[in-house]
Amino acid sequence: MYLFSHPTLPLPIPGREPDQLLPQSGGGWEGVSSYGTIVRQLFILPQMEPPMPLLFDMSLERLQSYEGRNPRPADFDAYWDRALTELDSIAPAVELIPAKFQSPSADCFHMYFTGTGGARVHAKLLRPKNAPEPHPAILMFHGYSGDSGDWQSKLGFVAAGYTVAALDCRGQGGLSEDVGGVPGWTLRGHIVRGIDGAPEDLLYRHIFLDCARMAQVVMDMPDVDENRVGATGGSQGGALTLACVALEPRVKRAAPVYPFLSDYKRVWEIDMDKDAYAELREWFRKFDPRHEREEEVFTRLGYVDIQFLAPRIRAEVMMGVGLMDQICPPSSQYAAFNKIRSPKTAVHYPDFGHEKLPDFDDRIFEWMMEL
């Protein structure tokens, strides 16, 4: 560990780990995050044999025991129990509309269902034409600001006899309805959307419940075997994969890839509140520039922090991690992974960041074929 008093160089503190660089309330910095790379390059790396080329986050050994920094709301479990009760009270009102795109192997539909707040939520649904019934299904979730993707990208699973459902997150790039109606900032940023209202106003509460609702709708289809359903997605889609299987524990397998929406305070402390997490910094700059509400805000975000949903997961999990990921830092991903109690595997890519992980899509496909 190294002690900084900005702008001087660090001084070593014996017996302390550099990965515990945390801001101090007294004005000085015990390892200020923006200096983390300098600390490692000047003092740490020359003295150790690093198992992975990590300069900005944690060693693999520490990742595997890291438990997270973000505060957990005291009523977290009751909050999500109430949310699921609310979801159960809403009739899904499923509507299937044949899509313009069709395939020799698949019947393709625009599927709509009703979520919390009365929103009509859209997903692409593809059914195999000649598969035996009931057959397995795959649930797919997209990255932040994106959409459910092209129809063609789902046909591999359909050709293997799987129904595929791919969600459009409300308020993002697809066809789902965002009913709004929250106080506070709505210009940018779904992480902080609703943060100035009641905890029930948080947008990701609704999106997480949309994931569970889509799983329920698919599992209730007469041609789908509810005991052979898997879920997958990358980045935001990785987070939604974990949220889905936490809130709908009948899903059997989950393959998240570098999941987003985890351990917000850790992300902020190591100056990774940029890119996908930039709204954290922007919100504080606009609405709490002296961080007088810091603990309150991070605790509120804890309601939609996937690390705290992870203990609910019963599915088998295979997570892909790029250990150089500076969009969703590995430590934030491991904060969730380490709380999963069901069978799990992490597949590491030491020289890769937040990008396509070679052959991991193939690995997911082969693993899901075992459903």
Write phi, then psi, for 268 (nearest 5 degrees).
Answer: -65, -40
Q: Which fold has domain 76-368?
A: Rossmann fold (3.40.50)
pLDDT digits (tens, 9 = 90+) for 216-233: 999 999 999 999 999 999
Q: Are 187 and 139 in contact (CB under 8 A)?
A: no
Q: Counting Cβ atoms within 10 Å, is residue 193 exposed (0-12), middle (13-18) or buried (19+)?
A: buried
Taking the alpha carbons at both ends of the chain, their separation in whole angstroms is: 46
pLDDT digits (tens, 9 = 90+) for 246-267: 999 999 999 999 999 999 999 9
Bridge partner list, 320: 257, 347
Alpha helices in 190-235 (DSSP H): 203-219
Q: What is the pLDDT along the chain (371 residues), one digit of tens a residue?
A: 333 333 333 344 344 444 444 443 333 333 334 444 444 444 444 444 444 445 579 999 999 999 999 999 999 999 999 999 999 999 999 999 999 999 999 999 999 999 999 999 999 999 999 999 999 999 999 999 999 999 999 999 999 999 999 999 999 999 999 998 888 888 789 999 999 999 999 999 999 999 999 999 999 999 999 999 999 999 999 999 999 999 999 999 999 999 999 999 999 999 999 999 999 999 999 999 999 999 999 999 999 999 999 999 999 999 999 999 999 999 999 999 999 999 999 999 999 999 999 999 999 999 999 99
| Number of Cβ atoms within 10 Å of the Cβ of 88 | 9
pTM: 0.87
| Intervals of CATH 3.40.50.1820 along the chain | 76-368
Distance from C-alpha of 261 to C-alpha of 70, rounded to nearest angstrom: 11
